[in-house]
Each structure stands twice: as C-alpha cells, then as structure tokens.
Amino acid sequence: RTDRTFTMLKPDAVEKGHIGAILDKINASGFRIVALKLTHMTTQDAKAFYEVHSERPFYGELVEYMTRGPIVAAILEKENAVDDFRTLIGATNPADAAEGTIRKLYAASIGENAVHGSDSDENAAIESAFHFAGREMF
C-alpha cells in the first residue's frame, strides 16, 4: 500500500468557502482522497487532538479556534504522502510559506493557518483513527 497522511481543513478555511479549491489542489497534486467528512470538534476533542501542545502559550487559543466551526477531515494517499503533503501546505506561518502553497494562498496567520498535515507516518495513523471509523476509510 502507498503511504497515507491525515489532514484537516480548519474552521477559517471552511468559513471562507475554500473547501472546494483546497480539495481540488490536493487532488491536482497527486493525492487520492480515501476518507472525507465535515465534522465539528468538541472542546474535549480539540484538547485531546492537540494534547502535545498543552504546555504551549497558544494552546487555549488553538482549542478555541479549532472548535469555533466545522472542519473537513480527510485521509490522503500518495507515495511519500506525509512529506509531500507538508511541502504542499507550506510553512506553519503563512508569512514564511512558499509561493503556491496552500497556506500561502489561504492562511491568514500562524494561528489561523487553514490546514493541518500530519508530521509523521505514526501520527498520520493516530490522527486518522481519532477522526474515522474503519468503515469510513477506503
């Protein structure tokens, strides 16, 4: 099987009506969507998902942001999926993101940065299982 990564189109991207454009760019970049849904994280969900950042000063703000509206969760398949997707989305801070990357095009700030991409194969599997049941992954 080829590699998989997990992504979320965050509340700012959904609010601004960018779901279609971002998914189109993901497909055009060679990723196959193998799971997809619109969902709204609870505070408990967001705290757990971002547990690794719980000691950071922006944790509270991050949980507020990620729960303020629906997100799109998806699992993407491609050779070298984790690294290639992180290249496609660009740097965490859109001010540092390369031309043509999703964050350069659609992110407002380092906090509201439009899209998530897993940082390792292991986290991709953990994050996918957090959001999807087995029968929702194809």
Which amino acids are annotated as binding site, given as ranges? 10, 58, 86, 92, 103, 113
Question: Which residues in the 98-117 window bind ligand CMP by CB under 6 A?
Answer: 110-111, 113, 116
**Considering beta carbons, is residue 54 or 138 the nearer one to ligand CMP?**
54
| Active-site hit among 18, 40, 53, 116 | 116
The set of residues, in sequence order, having a beta carbon less than 8 Å from that of 29 and lying 6+ positions away, is 84, 88
Nearer Cβ to ligand CMP (61/138): 61
- The SS3 of residue 5 is strand
- β-pairing, 115-117 vs 71-77, is unpaired
SS3 assignment, position 126: helix
Report 33-72 residues binding ligand CMP (CB under 6 A): 53, 58, 61-62
User: Shortest approach of ligand CMP to residue 123 CB, angstroms?
Assistant: 11
In the annotation, is 53 catalytic?
no
Task: Please state, in angstroms and rounded to a whole number, the distance separating the CA atoms of residues 107 and 42.
Answer: 22
Site of tokens 């999703």: 102
**Shortest Cβ distance from residue 40 to ligand CMP (Å)?**
17
Q: Which residue ranges are tagged as binding site for ATP?
A: 10, 58, 86, 92, 103, 113
Residue owning tokens 């799971």: 35
> Using the rule CB under 6 A, is 137 a contact of ligand CMP?
no
- Cα separations (Å) of 64 from 75, 112, 130, 132? 24, 11, 19, 22
Active site residues per annotation: 116
Q: Could you list the residues that contact ligand CMP (CB under 6 A)?
A: 53, 58, 61-62, 92, 110-111, 113, 116
